[in-house]
Amino acid sequence: MSLDQLMAWIPPGSPDLELARQIQPDRLPQHVAIIMDGNGRWAGKRHLPRVEGHRAGIQSVREVLETSARLGLKVLTLYAFSVENWKRPAAEVGTLMMLLKRYLRSELATLLENNIRFHVIGRPEGLAPDIRAELDDAACQTSGNSGLLFNIALNYGGRAEIVDAVRTAMTSGLAPADLDEESFARFLYTGGQPDPDLLIRTSGEMRVSNFLLWQIAYAEIYVTDTLWPDFRRRDLLEAIVAYQKRDRRYGGIAPPVAAGVK
Ligand code: IPE
Ligand code: IPE
Ligand code: MG
């Protein structure tokens, strides 16, 4: 997939085409991670129950996923349910799980068509057996795909992930002297994947809420006031255009600016 594939998919005359033209294909983020937030507020603004926001957010997931696959991103990680989200009312959690199950059933064909590999990060052992079976099935059926890697963070916590990685490292037989940042990262749920280059959070909150704590060490952070159910292809393209204007220094210094060039 490539920028051309994305452009071919955007209807002629759509303002998204102009936005897509601004994207530099050689400077795409490899990994985009999204904290999908604001479903409850979206519903509240419409005097609807919170769960209607979760339902509406599924269309945003579809559009972001297809845009990412067509654009040729390597990895997309969506934060769908945190270890802290169990604090919510049981009815809301139940509906979220039901929507997840329904989504997996209805979207499997789309994942296969778009050559997307589905992968769960988090503690799936804490989820109900029927949900796990659905997740395992989607991961298994898409395991041979070579396009976009779609990580869904479920029953996920960044601190829990680090603790789990330490446990695995301790039982792996790796000598303490051989433990360094690179070897440790292989024990994370995202082992072998590039770290997120771009972290997007919708709905304006300026916090990371226990998401990918290790991996976002040098991610560029983009926060938009748009609520998740309103987030569309255009919003993702805007985030990528903004990302490409950033100057990533990794603790070094900015490259010299050529004379006369701004
Ligand atoms: C994000 O939307 C979805 C999940 C955390 C599952 P919220 O449900 O957090 O919506 P707000 O933040 O209350 O608006
Ligand atoms: C973060 O959103 C978790 C997910 C998007 C799944 P929350 O709505 O749970 O985060 P807080 O409570 O605002 O930090
Ligand atoms: Mg929230």
Q: Kindly list the structural domains of the chain, giving each domain's residue range(s) and its CATH number in brackets, ordered by start.
A: 3-10+26-244 (3.40.1180.10)
pLDDT in tens, 140-152: 999 999 999 999 9
- Predicted pLDDT at 1: 73
Query: Both tokens of residue 13?
Result: 């005359």
Cα atoms in the 13 Å half-sphere on the side-chain side of 38: 23
Average pLDDT for 175-200 = 97
Q: Enumerate residues 6+ apart whose C-beta is below 8 A from 157.
A: 82, 83, 84, 122, 123, 210
Average pLDDT for 103-121 = 96
Output 77 or 258, whichever has higher pLDDT. 77
| 186 alpha carbon – ligand 1 mean position (Å) | 30
- Predicted pLDDT at 205: 98
- Predicted pLDDT at 147: 97
- Pocket lining: 38 vs ligand 1, CB cutoff 6 Å: yes
What is the pLDDT confidence band of residue 2, given thresholds at 50, 70 and 90? confident
Kindly write down the DSSP assignment for every residue of 174-231, as one continuous string. --GGG--HHHHHTTSTTTTSPPPSEEEE-TT----TT-STTTTTTPEEEE-SS-GGG-
| 55 alpha carbon – ligand 2 mean position (Å) | 16
Q: Is 155 a catalytic residue?
A: no
pTM above 0.75, yes or no: yes
Burial of 253 (0-12, 13-18, 19+ CB in 10 A): exposed
- Predicted pLDDT at 261: 53
Average pLDDT for 151-180 = 97
Give the largest CA-CA distance in the chain.
63
Burial of 132 (0-12, 13-18, 19+ CB in 10 A): middle
Average pLDDT for 250-257 = 86
DSSP H helical ranges for the chain:
3-9, 15-21, 39-45, 50-71, 90-113, 129-141, 158-171, 181-185, 233-244
Average pLDDT for 167-171 = 96
State which residues have CB under 5 angstroms from ligand 3, the bound ion.
37
Judge whether 160 and 88 are in contact, CB under 8 Å: no
- Predicted pLDDT at 69: 96
Other beta carbons less than 10 A from residue 156's beta carbon: 26
pLDDT higher than threshold 90 for residue 127: yes
Q: Identify the active-site residue in 85, 115, 145, 210.
A: 85
Q: Identify the active-site residue in 37, 195, 197, 235.
A: 37
- Predicted pLDDT at 258: 64
Q: Whose CA is nearest to atom 14 of ligand 2?
A: 209
- Predicted pLDDT at 259: 58
Q: How far apart are CA 221 and CA 27, in angstroms?
A: 16
- Predicted pLDDT at 254: 83
Q: How far apart are CA 99 and CA 92, in angstroms?
A: 11
DSSP-assigned letter for residue 79: E
Q: How far apart are CA 249 and CA 71, in angstroms?
A: 25
